[in-house]
Structure 1
Amino acid sequence: MKRRDFLMRGMFRPAVVVLGGGTGLEIMLAEAFAQPRSCGPPPAAKPQRRTAAESLPPLPLPATPLRRSEKKREPSPPALVGKVILGDVKWETRDGQRYAFRDWMTDPADMQNLLTWTNEQLHIRYRVVDADLAEFSYNPTELPTLYFTGHDAFTVPDAVIPRLRQFCIDGGTILGDACCGAPAFDQAFRRLVQQLFPKRPMEPLPTDHPLYSSFYPISSVHYREEGRTDWQDLPELEAVSIGCRAAIVYTGGYDCSCGWDGHVHEHGKRVLPADARKLGANIITYALATYELGRFLSTERVYHQTGQPTRDQLVIAQVIHDGDWDTQPSSLASLLKHLAENTTVEVQFKKEDVDLRSIDAFAHPILYMTGHKDFTLSDDEVNNLRRYLAAGGVLVANACCGRKAFDTAFRREIARVLPDHKLDRVALEHPVYRSVFPIDKVSYTPLVIHEHPGMFRPTLEGISIENQLRVVYSPYGFVNGWSGAPNPYDRGYEDKDALRLGINILVYAMTH
């Protein structure tokens, strides 16, 4: 009998009391009969399927065919989510009898019900399994998503931290939900995330993040909290991103697991079931859609001339800012490789990260800037960038994945740098579209075409000083196209045209 079946059969059974208190036998019994506290019913029993046939009984009985039936096991669907086993065995007295439970099973059917519902909506077939961190392989190709949930505070062994971190880097996804909005679990999960990625904050997602549109378009959800009237507001998912992918997704301290299970309580704080299911379906869809992207980003591409003295060759310098300035470190390497293959430009395969507060205009003739998020330049950075551009330097920038937050921030900050100039659309007759490849039309990613049917003109904007482009900006992303990353949520150019535009821009900047 499977442990989960055994556990379910033991629900609402009192634990056996053993003399001597706290013996190994008592702990084993507690493990066996651990049960949900009150949040939700167990998963529905799986339907039985039988196969039937006829046979002859052994002689000398009458040779009349007898019908035999036996259970037939349906092949299991692939596992998509592992629900992490958390918490110590705890005891509770109910109706005069002691019961045992473990915190991770207080809502035993939440993920199974969500996957059943999502499978129907998306016409897919996946299942949830229990995940023991002591035995888990930490290989996302075997189990792509780990799900942490509960009410109580928890910790994981120190040895597990680097393995969980590598699981995320290798393309795995961690999903967290505080059942009933429990503060103890909320604090413990945030502490775990801080241990995993101390330099990558878990932040609220912007409204244009793919998690709010991967299956259902979600602009608001309905909330319920003890002592308040139900209200409607923006969703509050939070995430830690690795490159262009949200690797850790958290429901923000508002319970979704009870909603996934189809019930609510008056206590705690939560997203109501209809919206919780939609958020859950979007999370599942996003995890599936970005799995290949995660695997791609896990492969590190090396600038093999890093550390070598800079020679009389092109070196790209990337601007450090207070947003996520280095979304895909390998994208420039790919662009430089194609530049060397398609032109006579001498390329040095190294990338230098520069601080605008100490910039040398003559050491770095071209600066590159990108990101997803909002950012703000200090007054010193603004003044130095202004002097750099006035001295003949060129700034090339793009909004990674076409994100609105970076687009808004870049337009605001470049207006501070050059208040007497404005970004204008670069005309198709401009030499930047002819410097290497003649470009009149481009192909955009499917997401852009979905939002702007029939769009095929390149969308470069620029600022000219002394009749030369000193700022070249694209509100649509180059990054995924340069690196070849399989990102289904990229608002950008298809690979071939992203590379052609990037090469044209670099050659124009070097020759003008």
Structure 2
Amino acid sequence: MNRRLRTHSRREFLQVTGLSWVIGQAGGVAVPALVFGEENSGPIDCGPPPKAAPQHRTGGESFPPLPLPVTPLRRTEKKRPPSPPALIGKMALGSVRWITRDGKRVMYRDWMTDPADVNTLLEWTNEKLGIHYRAVETDFAHFSFDPRELPALLFAGHNSFQLTDDVRAKLARYVMDGGTIIGDACCGWNDFAESFRREMELIFPGRPLRKMLPEEPVFSSYYKLGNFTYQKADGSRYDDAPCLESIDFGCRSGVIFSPADMTCGWDGHDHPRGLRLVIDLARQVGANLITYILGSYQLARFLSTTKVYYEAEAPTRDDFVFAQIMHEGDWDPDPSAVHNLLKYARDNSTLEVKFKRQNIRLTDPQAANYPLLYMTGHREFVWNNDEVAFLQRYLKAGGLLLADACCGRMSFDMGFRREIAKVFPDAKLEKIPLDHPIYHNLFDIQEVEYTPRVREDFGNINTPELEGISIDGRLAVIYSRFDLGNGWEQFPHPYSYGLKDDSALKIGTNVIVYAITH
């Protein structure tokens, strides 16, 4: 039976947000009524409002400033604890609509349907993870678009929405500066999902949302997650691959989107509509998102800066210039890596190394002019017949290809092994022995240090694991399944399977020396 809430503060909240509630008989618990908006829009009720902030009162003797009266004053007063830092801002979305509630016209916006979602998630994760963060509500008119103020923004709702060009530009800058956008289609509502994808495409042209791979750190940053369990409108459940999508910026995901509902699960309730993650899984995914945002925040800020190759326009003559292969995958996840490696090589050798990285495609005839070609990435890629033919000619003529799987990702590893087999169908990658000159031409490399993730999953290995393909006794291909570029960047990558900075830089420098001398 519908009843009005008797407390003025709760009634006032409902009038502002336009929510409707049913009060259960068991303990007076508020549960959402399934109310839908006008014109086939999404539901306008999903969860109860946030809990009221606790009242902290301390009874005792309180002393006014000196001089003291004859007897101290005794009083009881509210004490406000210090606010924890804000981590996530829930963004106000949706046009203003007016609906009728108890005979009154009240204002409603789509983002208000589940007002306690991220607050409840943070309460849960604060307890589970031993952290202390809070969520806030914000809007485009009053937000600074500075990730130092709010590292993450949550976009959630049911209905279509549209942003202005000015807001799009500011959101692009926000993410490039290190912020993260989380999108959630509440109740799995398709109108919101289509709008979110469209807006991200306009904000980041040429960077489409792509299905996240199971190996990505957001699926293991706290809980080790496999297939997701989904619940359909009829209450039935099924298991399938994770549905999360992302847009990557360097070695981090700056936009993460779920087309299946998470936010209702964060708040601990479900409804007979839409498509959603079951409650326990939704909270585990939320905990992983929060852990990932916290773990990658400093890296995100680091990646927001761009190293300048100040000799980029200088004539190359006979000096060594580093050429990086552009391909269909995320070919440039470590934009500062090559700069730092070239500086290290020049400072620690007699090499005449230009501070220049030349980005080339294998279809470019100029690619044959460089003694070393380098490539990296996270995802699979495919070489066409022309690219395969060029590499065959280039490598047989004396060129050298260096490749590494950025962050140690299995997808790139699988793609590279498949594609290099097209180039040399009668040869295969083999481990380079420790007595090979590649480990001794400048630096004597007998042992290397790996990142904590390598030691955690592969044991206490300490020897280089480079693989190669040789032609007439000369290395033509050098490949590292463990990341080198993250180490070249000389900044912590918390989720990387790779070599630590010093080891990666020494191996990279030895490869450059080998390319020049062979």
Deviation string 1:198-247 (CA, Å, 9 cap, x unpaired) is: 11111011110000000000002210122573101121111100000100
**Secondary structure of 1:373 counterpart:** coil
Query: Which residue of structure 2 lines up, in the alignment, with residue 501 of structure 1?
Result: 507
**Following the alignment from structure 1 to structure 2, what is the Cα–Cα distance between the partners of residues 291 and 146?**
13
Query: Which residue of structure 2 lines up, in the alignment, with residue 466 of structure 1?
Result: 472
Query: How much does 1:305 deviate?
Result: 1.0
Query: Which residue of structure 2 lines up, in the alignment, with residue 364 of structure 1?
Result: 370
Match runs of 1:26-425 below 5 Å: 37-54=44-61, 67-93=74-100, 98-227=105-234, 229-251=236-258, 253-360=259-366, 362-425=368-431
Query: Which residue of structure 2 lines up, in the alignment, with residue 426 of structure 1?
Result: 432
Distance 1:8 1:418, change over 3 A: farther
TM-score normalised over the length of structure 1:
0.91
- Report if aligned partners of 2:17, 2:112 keep a CA contact under 8 Å in 1: no
Deviation string 1:320-351 (CA, Å, 9 cap, x unpaired) is: 11111111222111100010011111011111
Distance 1:71 1:390, change over 3 A: same
- Report if aligned partners of 1:85, 1:104 keep a CA contact under 8 Å in 2: yes
- Report if aligned partners of 1:15, 1:98 keep a CA contact under 8 Å in 2: no
Query: How much does 1:485 deviate?
Result: 2.4
**Secondary structure of 2:127 counterpart:** helix
Runs of 5+ in structure 1 lacking a partner?
Answer: 17-35, 57-62
- Paired residues, number: 483
**Following the alignment from structure 2 to structure 1, what is the Cα–Cα distance between the partners of residues 467 and 236?**
48
For 1:119, the aligned partner's letter is: N
Deviation string 1:347-367 (CA, Å, 9 cap, x unpaired) is: 111111111112346511110
**Following the alignment from structure 2 to structure 1, what is the Cα–Cα distance between the partners of residues 187 and 94?**
16
- Report if aligned partners of 1:154, 1:185 keep a CA contact under 8 Å in 2: yes
Query: How much does 1:94 deviate?
Result: 5.1
Query: How much does 1:307 deviate?
Result: 2.1
**Following the alignment from structure 2 to structure 1, what is the Cα–Cα distance between the partners of residues 11 and 90?**
19
Query: How much does 1:55 deviate?
Result: 7.2
TM-score normalised over the length of structure 2:
0.90
For 2:193, the aligned partner's letter is: D
For 1:132, the aligned partner's letter is: D
- Report if aligned partners of 1:178, 1:254 keep a CA contact under 8 Å in 2: yes
For 1:173, the aligned partner's letter is: T
**Secondary structure of 1:171 counterpart:** coil
Distance 1:458 1:64, change over 3 A: closer
Moved over 6 A (4+): 63-66
- Report if aligned partners of 2:16, 2:108 keep a CA contact under 8 Å in 1: no
**Secondary structure of 1:290 counterpart:** helix
- Report if aligned partners of 1:443, 1:497 keep a CA contact under 8 Å in 2: yes
**Farther off after superposition, 164-173 or 84-93:** 84-93
- Report if aligned partners of 1:104, 1:149 keep a CA contact under 8 Å in 2: yes
- Report if aligned partners of 2:56, 2:80 keep a CA contact under 8 Å in 1: yes
Out of 492, 495, 516, the position equivalent to 1:486 is 492
Query: How much does 1:369 deviate?
Result: 0.5
**Secondary structure of 2:322 counterpart:** strand
Distance 1:346 1:266, change over 3 A: same
Query: Which residue of structure 2 lines up, in the alignment, with residue 10 of structure 1?
Result: 12
Deviation string 1:287-341 (CA, Å, 9 cap, x unpaired) is: 0100000010011101111122222100011111111111122211110001001
**Following the alignment from structure 1 to structure 2, what is the Cα–Cα distance between the partners of residues 412 and 230?**
37
Query: How much does 1:101 deviate?
Result: 1.8
Query: How much does 1:470 deviate?
Result: 0.5
Distance 1:69 1:7, change over 3 A: closer
**Following the alignment from structure 2 to structure 1, what is the Cα–Cα distance between the partners of residues 14 and 44?**
10
**Following the alignment from structure 2 to structure 1, what is the Cα–Cα distance between the partners of residues 104 and 479?**
69
- Report if aligned partners of 1:395, 1:470 keep a CA contact under 8 Å in 2: yes
Distance 1:308 1:43, change over 3 A: same
Query: How much does 1:256 deviate?
Result: 0.4
Distance 1:103 1:429, change over 3 A: same
Query: How much does 1:37 deviate?
Result: 2.8
**Secondary structure of 2:421 counterpart:** helix
For 2:179, the aligned partner's letter is: G
Aligned alpha-carbon RMSD (Å): 2.1
Query: Which residue of structure 1 lines up, in the alignment, with residue 463 of structure 2?
Result: 457
Query: How much does 1:95 deviate?
Result: 6.0
Deviation string 1:433-467 (CA, Å, 9 cap, x unpaired) is: 10111111110001111112211111100000010
For 1:219, the aligned partner's letter is: G
Deviation string 1:262-282 (CA, Å, 9 cap, x unpaired) is: 000111111111000000000
Query: Which residue of structure 1 lines up, in the alignment, with residue 34 of structure 2?
Result: none
Query: How much does 1:383 deviate?
Result: 0.6
Query: Which residue of structure 2 lines up, in the alignment, with residue 439 of structure 1?
Result: 445
**Following the alignment from structure 1 to structure 2, what is the Cα–Cα distance between the partners of residues 105 and 119?**
23
- Report if aligned partners of 2:85, 2:133 keep a CA contact under 8 Å in 1: yes
Distance 1:307 1:15, change over 3 A: closer
Runs of 5+ in structure 2 lacking a partner?
Answer: 1-6, 19-42, 64-69
Query: Which residue of structure 2 lines up, in the alignment, with residue 19 of structure 1?
Result: none
